[in-house]
Chain A
Amino acid sequence: MLKGILDGCILSIIQEGEIYGYELAEKLQGYGFHSFSEGTIYPLLLRMQKENLVTTTLKKSTAGPKRKYYSLTTKGEEELEQFKLRWEEISLAVNNVMNKGGH
């Protein structure tokens, strides 16, 4: 379940604007994902590319090697919308269980 959640968060961050791998990992950590190793995003990004959720462009950087920037496709946008719905449902349910406030 957690894996799918990371997918959703990655899609959501990419939606804010073109971003490359390292920056994406930093942002995730900034949002509070501390316990995952940064490299985890790459297998996920590879799969998203395969499923046509994201596209990539290579750009020169001021220092160091070229960077691969990711942006969402229409299909990626749709996937993100679906994730948001699923997430609302899950978080509501989990909150209810934790607070026992449902009934």
Chain B
Amino acid sequence: MLSQKAEQFLIELRMYLIQRGKKDQDIQEIIDELEAHLIEAEQNGKNIDDIIGKSPKQYMKSIGESLPFDKKQMFTLVPMSILLVLAILSYSPAIYGEFSLSKNMLFFGSIMVVLSFALFSVFLFKGAPKLVKSLVWLIVLNIAVSLFVAGVWVAFYFWLQDQPDTLLFTATETQNYMIVAACVIIFIAFSIYSKSWIIIFMALSFSIAPIGNRFIPEEINKDPFFITIAGILGSIITIVILVFLFKRANKAG
């Protein structure tokens, strides 16, 4: 079996190649080949440094330069991700029946989206590969980054409320339903494309609060007892889903 150092290197190499837009199949092939080589080498008492040299970074670069850039993947992945972010942002307000667009939202909102994107990619490509062997720290870092981004968004919303703004568009009830439908189609398309359930779970968790708000009678909605029960149930469901996802991820790995 592989040493921890070798496994760590393969993970970092994979993230490096993904980040540089290489084809999935090419990445998988070279990783498999290197893994086979590393396993055999380590069985024969060789060290990973004998194989990839003193500088892993330099070695990753030389592999990266030998693989072609996958234009097709980039041209689908980038628009898909932008659509997905737009869908995530529009989904909740549309379910509440309050979808609207304003000048500030469009201008500052897009800056915020780009910034959040940048922060998450730094986390995903620079932070996460180094921590993959210590799951606890990975989760801590993930939560920290998510909380930070969420916090910045909340601050942004509060700041935006005090700014002079022009409303450009307010959706009617039918339009709100159409936006929700469009978002659901995007979520499903992305789930099929990425072969992962995570977006569906996320969309479902976004839906619970607004739908509840719309259809549960006011008295129940304000009762602290029911709020506590809902909070506890919500956390339990979240934990179950997380455990389920981690188990699946471990099996796949």
| Interface residue B219 (Cβ < 8 Å from any Cβ of A) | no
Query: Which residue on chain A has the smallest CB distance to residue B67?
Result: A46
Which of B29, B33, B50, B63 gathers most chain A CB within 10 Å? B33
Q: CB within 8 A of A64: which of B39, B46, B67, B68?
A: B39
Query: Which residue on chain A has the smallest CB distance to residue B59?
Result: A39
A65 to B68 CA separation, bound complex (whole angstroms): 25
A64 cross-chain contacts in B, Cβ below 8 A? 36, 39-40
| Interface residue A47 (Cβ < 8 Å from any Cβ of B) | yes
Q: Are A43 and B36 in contact (CB under 8 A)?
A: no
A43 cross-chain contacts in B, Cβ below 8 A? 62-63, 65-66
| Contact-size category for A | 20 to 34
B37 cross-chain contacts in A, Cβ below 8 A? 21-22, 25, 38-39, 42
| Interface residue A67 (Cβ < 8 Å from any Cβ of B) | yes
B88 cross-chain contacts in A, Cβ below 8 A? none
A103 cross-chain contacts in B, Cβ below 8 A? none
A42 to B59 CA separation, bound complex (whole angstroms): 10
| Contact-size category for B | 20 to 34
The smallest C-beta distance from A85 to any residue of chain B, in angstroms, reads 26
The smallest C-beta distance from A25 to any residue of chain B, in angstroms, reads 7
A37 to B46 CA separation, bound complex (whole angstroms): 11
Within 8 A of A (CB), among B29-85: 29-30, 32-37, 39-41, 46, 49-53, 59, 62-63, 65-68
The verdict on A42 contacting B33 (CB below 8 Å), with A22-B41, A37-B52 known, is yes
A38 to B63 CA separation, bound complex (whole angstroms): 13
Q: 14 other contacts beyond A22-B37, A42-B34, with CB at 8 A cut-off?
A: A20-B36, A22-B36, A22-B40, A22-B41, A37-B52, A39-B51, A39-B52, A42-B33, A47-B66, A64-B36, A65-B32, A66-B32, A66-B36, A68-B29
B interface with A by C-beta (< 8 Å) = 29-30, 32-37, 39-41, 46, 49-53, 59, 62-63, 65-68
Provide a sorted-by-A list of 18 A–B residue pairs whose CB atoms are within 8 angstroms.
A21-B33, A22-B36, A37-B49, A37-B51, A37-B52, A38-B41, A38-B46, A42-B34, A42-B63, A43-B62, A43-B63, A43-B65, A50-B68, A64-B40, A65-B32, A65-B35, A66-B36, A68-B36
